[in-house]
Structure 1
């Protein structure tokens, strides 16, 4: 197939040309493009003539279609969109945006034009999408376009010598969306949050902060998990060894990258480990669930109440939650007191709702609503 040019009002999708190299080299040096694509570390050293020949050959013979997205009037480089031909009449879409063009809807419009071409002119029966797990902005755009998320592909791609996991999705003819999906503002808010490093949260107690978990916390976690009350009211493994804490740290870090579980450590004025608190996010964008555990040496200081207030505020103000729930086994009075002091309303008992070391247990259920939070701020 010969290269084609596509025009959509103020943007043009065109093949690469001789004068593009400086702008492309500058784009490839961008931190975010380098982080989420396969651009080689030595891109600035490539021979441009060889690159152009390769791109043109791919268009004609190899089923790799790449357009530079440029401003129709100025020809300024704004990004790239393209397709890789896969099996079974599938085209895999790829895209990136220059730093100067982000936030302007450029890539969305370019993708819409390109996808229309794929179905109408390239006879595609399916457009696939993938992104390195953690690239929430790419995933957000795919959802806005109408892609159905199909799961994860483990160790699916080699990125400069390191195997990485991918999110995957697909789009069939007729599924390109005209408007954002339900819950899109919350999706966008969470993409903005989880694309950044996990923040440190302040609390109402000057000596207490919530910070990301780190290797230096592992000994404290192991020690805390020997406590009889922790064993009684949680499902931590028993006996609990350092490898359990190391596995927990890995789960915590992956949870933030994937945007499904946000875990903080309670740290005192000496930055010592005092407990953990987390917000679990599911498919229901309105609702999240909180969980927490205080180390024995940090109890009775009001730490967890302050931490729970700070975390729920973050859930409402930053992550867009409408309802945050709390559960604990019936009889865990200390956990219930914390929840009630933090403004949660106990709603009742869930019979045999969870299993504790093989035995069914009833759970208390409580919640705090965004409206409760807003009313308290007045």
Structure 2
């Protein structure tokens, strides 16, 4: 537990210390390197999914019949395992470490693409658990790592760029983690009718809080979802199982967490400066994320990974607001929220990441 807090405190201290942009970039690279070191050399008992992942890994060969022996993996991820074992190493932890290092590289690309402060983006990303959560959501994190390189297409005005972006979302999703397909909906923020609504902040905040009605209408949502069985089959065996246990799920999204997250998303929507060139995009992604979280999370906490894709952009949205010179009280609220999320996850040991043990020191 201690190593997580030490890293977090150092990152926070370096984030809110005045420095020039070149120093900010260098510190971000240093911390990403250190986080990559922690992720690459973590022991087998750090993370909840290692047992079943390692069983699949050990069974996988270049023969497709060996894929998904114990739990369903997308075919692309299975081939990545097979090629890794043939070319690089047959050691499971080496493979997972390589995926984590790739996530660090991609996250750096993510911070440099939006340019909202390297250390500030890193601080918010760590706070919102996109580093510790990736000890378990390995396939999804790998898919997001690949997805980050499609972002230039999403914002490009060139002909066919959006079609290529959507096609890549579908391809990455089908090959590596099917939830990523939903990010193919993001170009909808460009539609004139949607863009017009995205500037009506009061309406958006009201609709955001209305999504909390999902906790009252759980039965109706479950019934509606039952009519989408074809979509669930497309997502695969694992998500069909999530749905089957959802009606009586013991672990659903916490109402307190849902209210807090909804409040923060509403605050971000309200505070995001309209003058920002990506304003409509960030508002749309936040709005989609909180609706997805509240509507599906009420059925089972397992579905929250779908909203995790949208909330990748919450990292940048919060960074944009914290970069504003005014709004001091709101900055305090957002920083306090970030700290609360991180501390709660470590203290409650979400995803079995505590205690942290390192292969080099055991």
TM bucket normalised to smaller? under 0.3
TM-score (norm. length: structure 1): 0.23
Structure ID, larger Rg: 1
Greater strand proportion: 1
The structure in which a higher percent of residues are helix is: 2
